[in-house]
Amino acid sequence: MDKKDISMIRKRYKKGEDNFTRIAGCYVSNEKQIISEFADSPHSMPEDEYFRYIDIAKKSLSGKLGNNILMLPFRSDEYENGSVSGEVTGLLEEVRKSGLKDEGILERYYQHIINTYTTTDNYLIVVFADTYDVPSTASDGTDLDESEIVFDYILTAICPVKLSSPGLGYREDENRIGTLIQEWTAAPVESAFMYPAFSDRCGDVYHVTVYAKKPDAPPADFWMEGLHVITKLSESQKKKTFLTMVEGVVTNDSEEDHDEAMFNVADSLSDYISSKQELQGDDEPVSVSSDEITDILTDAGIEQEKAEKVAKEYDDAFSEEKDRPLATELLEEKLLKNQKLYHEKQALQREVSRLHTEKDKNSNIEEKAVSGDPSVTSIRISPDKKSGVKFTEIDGQKYVVIPVTDNEKITVNGEEQRQD
């Protein structure tokens, strides 16, 4: 599955297009009780209501592939001899083939999700049925009008349902301003999955496509127990795990040294990716071994012993081949962006400190002059008079001559001097 596959499906979720054949679902309490159910054809729904469901479908396949969206394989016990006949795949096939028109099948499907999905919120289960005539492609890759493949699939979304915020507003029933009635409202999609997966322009019954709103904390338990799939780490989880390892070896540094170390690691990793891409091409994935992690960290200025400690933790955390991260999945782009701002801030702080030091130095010189120190004389004049300053000698004594105008106010050591 790639970005193009996801894009092909999402393009169907447009207002005004005849896409879904049926939409069904149920509202579930946090005590795992079904409060209400519905099933209807999109053509029978009010337009604004149908558009709300379209938004849910679009959100169910949104975000970054490999992070919010993953393609996960079913466990081996979910299919035998190439046939999907396991506990979960069998149920998914029943739901798909029924077109969401069999109440008994839907009831068993809802109950299976309710029994395996964990949350403290009330929530809405929405199931979409769609039949997609996948367009054929020409030799140059452009889509043709005719279709050779029909992709029948179901898309299931789970949305938390929460009370709207309390507030003041116009109470039309009483013609007054008062406390608005709170209502239970569906929040954005928390988790979703599509069966079968869509890969290389056709259905794949051996995989399911899953979506998580929070890729750094996905509902992995539900995926394993409810869908019987083999899970893998998202990009956010890999990155968070790696950065936590690095944080662990620089945690005792001062705040400034800590920030600098994290920036240097991001720089070193970015340089490693660039050098690899130059050798193998931009389109090739850049892998990274534990030995290369050690080199990246030492190049960033981290001590050899600490770098090797991180490399050992790296091997332990990503021991499964399916979870092995690419170098690009470990790079924290925000660190690279913040690095420039950080160094600009540091330079500004140094300049401010220099100016304060210079000011204190000048103040000290002036104090010495006022106190009668014969070795120091400090004179402040306006810039326009500087070119007129001259040195002269009268009766063997040296003087500084500064031009002044008539009636110009002159103060010496804070005392006004008269022009006589």
Same domain for 228 and 268?
A: no
What is the per-residue pLDDT across 373-404, written as a single tens digit (0 to 9) for each? 555 566 667 767 777 788 788 877 887 888 87
211 domain-assigned = yes
pLDDT score recorded for residue 171: 82
For residue 145, pLDDT over 70 is answered with no
- Euclidean distance between CA atoms 329 and 312, whole angstroms: 19
Mean pLDDT of 344-364: 68
- Which residue would you say has higher pLDDT here, 213 or 146? 213
Tokens, residue 157: 């979304």
pLDDT score recorded for residue 376: 55
Mean pLDDT of 257-269: 88
Average pLDDT in the chain = 86
Same domain for 213 and 108?
A: yes
The whole domain housing 21 covers 3-232
- Euclidean distance between CA atoms 255 and 264, whole angstroms: 14
Same domain for 216 and 312?
A: no
- Which residue would you say has higher pLDDT here, 18 or 230? 230
285-291 — which CB contacts under 8 Å span 24+ positions? 285/326, 285/328, 286/326, 286/327, 286/328, 287/324, 287/326, 287/327, 288/325, 288/326, 288/327, 288/330, 290/314, 290/315
378 domain-assigned = no
Same domain for 253 and 228?
A: no
367 domain-assigned = no
Last residue of a domain, one of 173, 205, 232: 232
For residue 369, pLDDT over 70 is answered with no
Last residue of a domain, one of 232, 250, 279: 232
pLDDT score recorded for residue 215: 95
Same domain for 200 and 272?
A: no
106 domain-assigned = yes
pLDDT score recorded for residue 179: 81
347 domain-assigned = no
pLDDT score recorded for residue 355: 74
- Which residue would you say has higher pLDDT here, 138 or 96? 96
- Euclidean distance between CA atoms 217 and 223, whole angstroms: 12
For residue 142, pLDDT over 70 is answered with no
pLDDT score recorded for residue 374: 56
pLDDT score recorded for residue 180: 80
pLDDT score recorded for residue 20: 92
pLDDT score recorded for residue 221: 96
Structural domain count, the chain? 2
200 domain-assigned = yes
- Which residue would you say has higher pLDDT here, 334 or 128? 128
Lowest mean pLDDT among 70-79, 120-129, 250-259, 266-275: 250-259
What is the per-residue pLDDT across 166-200, written as a single tens digit (0 to 9) for each? 788 888 888 888 888 888 899 999 999 999 999 98
Place 143 in a pLDDT band, splitting at 50, 70 and 90. low
- Euclidean distance between CA atoms 299 and 317, whole angstroms: 22
Same domain for 67 and 144?
A: yes
- Contact between residue 117 and residue 222 where contact means Cβ atoms under 8 Å apart: yes
Mean pLDDT of 296-303: 93
186 domain-assigned = yes
For residue 267, pLDDT over 80 is answered with yes
Lowest mean pLDDT among 19-33, 214-228, 257-271: 257-271
Mean pLDDT of 109-137: 93
For residue 363, pLDDT over 90 is answered with no
pLDDT score recorded for residue 165: 80
Q: Is the pTM of this model over 0.95?
A: no
Tokens, residue 217: 């904390």
48 domain-assigned = yes
Same domain for 72 and 201?
A: yes
Handedness of CA 162, 163, 167, 169 (dihedral sign): positive
pLDDT score recorded for residue 153: 96
Lowest mean pLDDT among 174-188, 210-224, 316-330: 174-188
Same domain for 28 and 97?
A: yes
Same domain for 151 and 19?
A: yes
Last residue of a domain, one of 331, 357, 379: 331
Lowest mean pLDDT among 172-176, 215-219, 335-339: 335-339
Same domain for 217 and 269?
A: no
For residue 48, pLDDT over 80 is answered with yes
Same domain for 275 and 209?
A: no
Same domain for 288 and 147?
A: no
pLDDT score recorded for residue 411: 74
Place 367 in a pLDDT band, splitting at 50, 70 and 90. low
